[in-house]
């Protein structure tokens, strides 16, 4: 039997907006220099911001889990 996930109430663009509204407070303009990797899991949208692999940047960006039904931030971690 195959399990089919229902479409989330919170769309991909909405989840990005929720995460970016919070992350910009910590990262400012630097946030837009990061690459976003995003996927939908059983516990919500996972958003991972990473530096571009150009050899000049070190550190990392924020990681969020956004509830796909309510849009609440379930967890967030900041890397610098």
Per-residue pLDDT reduced to its tens digit, 13-62: 999 999 999 999 999 988 988 999 999 999 999 999 998 876 555 678 89
Q: Is 75 a residue whose pLDDT tops 60?
A: yes
Q: CA distances (Å), 30 to each of 4, 26, 43, 55, in order?
A: 37, 9, 28, 16
Q: What is the reported pLDDT for 79?
A: 82
Place 7 in a pLDDT band, splitting at 50, 70 and 90. Answer: confident
Domains and their CATH numbers in the chain: 12-77 (3.10.450)
pTM: 0.83
Place 67 in a pLDDT band, splitting at 50, 70 and 90. Answer: very high
């Amino acid at each position: 039997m195959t399990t089919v996930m229902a479409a989330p109430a919170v769309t991909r663009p909405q989840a990005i907006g929720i995460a970016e509204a919070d992350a910009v407070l910590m990262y400012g303009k630097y946030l837009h220099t990061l690459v976003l990797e995003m996927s939908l899991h059983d516990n919500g949208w996972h958003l991972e911001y990473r530096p571009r692999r150009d050899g000049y940047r070190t550190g990392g960006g924020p990681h969020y889990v956004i509830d796909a039904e309510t849009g609440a931030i379930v967890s967030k971690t900041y890397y610098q």
